[in-house]
Amino acid sequence: MSEIYVTLTGNVTDDPKQFTFGDGSRATSMRVAVDRRILDRQTQTWRDGETTFYTVRSYRGLADHVAQSVRRGHPVVVVGKLRVKQFEREGEQRFWVEVEATSVGHDLKWGISSFERPARGASRGSMTDDDLRAMEDDTRDWELNTPGLRVLEGGAGQDDPAEETESWPDEAVPAAA
């Protein structure tokens, strides 16, 4: 199966959470809110669309860099592999979308940042499937407690082909539930 790569621009909703596993490997998870702006072609005005929340996971060195550099409210650009996860809750099948980040950076459209190259460290081991499941279970509450989250039935929503969209981070980040 081929990989699907995506690019997200949005705001971090909570400080990233870093996880250290038994073999010394680390992963960092964060939530990113992506706001849609929709152009109404008839009135030539922009209006707010829906906000979509993504869990973004990073591993190894990128995980360390994200944990040290990114905070709640920061506008970010994320590039990574799209993953759809499935779980059961109260007898009902549920899905959530996450992105396995290959790159994360501040969105300089909204501010300034500086770069610092970290000292090179020793190589870390790889985490077990049990470690990964424990991390997913720990961060699943984000998906289930996100305000306005809808469970998708039968696939994604459909866009009006007459509309154009563009992502614009809001000044404020949605309040945590």
Q: Residue 16: which CATH number?
A: 2.40.50.140
Question: Is residue 43 domain-resident?
Answer: yes
Per residue in 118-136, pLDDT tens? 776 644 555 667 766 776 7
Question: Is residue 119 domain-resident?
Answer: yes
Question: Is residue 165 domain-resident?
Answer: no
Listed residue (13, 81, 15, 93) closest to 53, CA to CA: 13
State the residue range of the domain holding 121: 5-160
Q: Does the predicted model carry a pTM greater than 0.75?
A: no
Measured CA to CA, the distance from residue 45 to residue 168 in angstroms comes to 14
Question: Is residue 81 domain-resident?
Answer: yes
Domain count, the chain: 1
Question: Is residue 29 domain-resident?
Answer: yes
Which tokens go with 118?
């970290």
Measured CA to CA, the distance from residue 149 to residue 136 in angstroms comes to 18
Per-residue pLDDT of the chain (177 residues; tens, 9 = 90+): 689 999 999 999 999 999 988 888 899 999 999 998 888 889 999 888 899 999 999 999 999 999 999 999 999 999 999 998 888 888 888 888 899 999 999 999 999 988 888 776 644 555 667 766 776 776 666 655 555 444 333 333 333 333 333 433 444 344 343
Question: Is residue 146 domain-resident?
Answer: yes
Which element (helix H / strand E) includes 132? helix 129-144
Question: Is residue 166 domain-resident?
Answer: no
Question: Is residue 173 domain-resident?
Answer: no
Output phi, psi for 101, to 5 deg.
-70, 135
